[in-house]
Structure 1
Amino acid sequence: MRAPRECASWFWDLEDYAPPGLRSALTVAARMSAVLQKHDLLQPTTLEWFWLVPDMGGAVGKSSVGLLRPLDDEWTSRRVEELRPVAFPEAETSGLRVVGTGVWSDADGVQHREERLVELTVSSEPLGLSADVSVFHDVWGPFDFRGLPHPEVHRNNAPRLAAALKELEVLLGVPAEPGEATYFGTAVGYGVMEPDVVDGRGPDLTDQL
């Protein structure tokens, strides 16, 4: 099951890793997505982003483009620039989100390809870049969203996510910070925090699905 909000996320402040700017953000996104793809967590297919006008304090539009070339290819940055809203020539990109498909394994070890299994966002701010990796499915924690334990599913998926997060830390040279907790869970270390357990069951979260 996929939640409408993340069940765990990890954040990196990349001010010292890369300069601000669209091309820089796309280069970082390409490097990070290569790590996630190596672990079968994210096969990029689409790039999404908002357009912001600083003086207006909010988004003036949203765009997306199919990834016909690599993220760090000049074609990609040029295509992003071409989609700037005509009415707002001063608009800037915000939150370059890389989406695609990833693989998870069920209790029997059978692999399934899933849309938006893992999402990667790289944001370019005036002082530098930041990045965020988010997960939304219950396969990463020891209980499903109904509160039922599924140790085999957890064992078949969580180690791969942890390995990718550790590799991203090495790539970026800075430790990941756990994101904010949501109704569906929170990050701890390189995984999803185990919830409070009552009579062998976790909380039933399906009322928000």
Structure 2
Amino acid sequence: MSLLGPIDDEEVPLRVARSRPVGFPDAQVGSVLVVGSGTWIDARGEKRAEHRLVELTVAPDAPGFWAELAVFHDIWSPFDFRGLRHPEVEQQNAPRLAVALRALDALLGVTAEPGEPTYFGRAEGHGTKPPDLVDGRGPDVTDLL
């Protein structure tokens, strides 16, 4: 469902509940995936719009409430997906990710736990872990883009 306003609008839970399939009147929400556009800042300081910059999945059901934040860009790391250094891009964006993760920690009342590493990288603290270097470069992961 598309949201035209903020996700924390009091109307959102009512819209989610009304979206229950007619054939399953007792269905409960298992999880909610929040997908939208985000903004990142390039090496020159220009803001760039990006679809699916991050995704937030929230599951309010048993065995307990959980949330997962997934990032889909190389802007959080000191290296781009080709393995080339781009410290200006990381300096513009990594702190913004850290602030967002700390805000999520505060909202949920728990400290985030890093998820499983992926081909593209791994979480560490409130950011991404720098990759292992080979001859001063990060890994080239463009083969899966």
Classify 1:82/1:171 alpha carbon distance in 2 versus 1 (closer, same or farther; 3 Å): closer
Distance in 1, matches of 2:16 and 2:107, equals 26
> Which one is further off, 122-131 or 86-95?
86-95
Shift of 1:74: 4.8
Who is 1:199 aligned against? 135
Who is 2:22 aligned against? 86
In structure 1, stretches of 5+ residues that fail to align are 1-64
Higher strand share: 1
Distance in 2, matches of 1:183 and 1:174, equals 27
Classify 1:78/1:167 alpha carbon distance in 2 versus 1 (closer, same or farther; 3 Å): closer
Classify 1:129/1:145 alpha carbon distance in 2 versus 1 (closer, same or farther; 3 Å): same
Aligned length: 145
1:83-105 superposed Cα distances (whole Å, 9 cap, x missing partner) = 22223333322221122221111
Q: TM-score normalized by structure 1?
A: 0.64
* Pairing 1:28-39 to 2, within 5 Å after superposition: none
Q: TM-score normalized by structure 2?
A: 0.89
In structure 2, stretches of 5+ residues that fail to align are none
Shift of 1:165: 1.5
Classify 1:75/1:164 alpha carbon distance in 2 versus 1 (closer, same or farther; 3 Å): closer
Higher helix share: 1
Shift of 1:134: 1.3
What amino acid is the match of 1:111?
Answer: K
Note the aligned Cα RMSD (angstroms).
Answer: 1.7
What amino acid is the match of 2:30?
Answer: S
What amino acid is the match of 2:75?
Answer: V
Distance in 2, matches of 1:171 and 1:73, equals 16
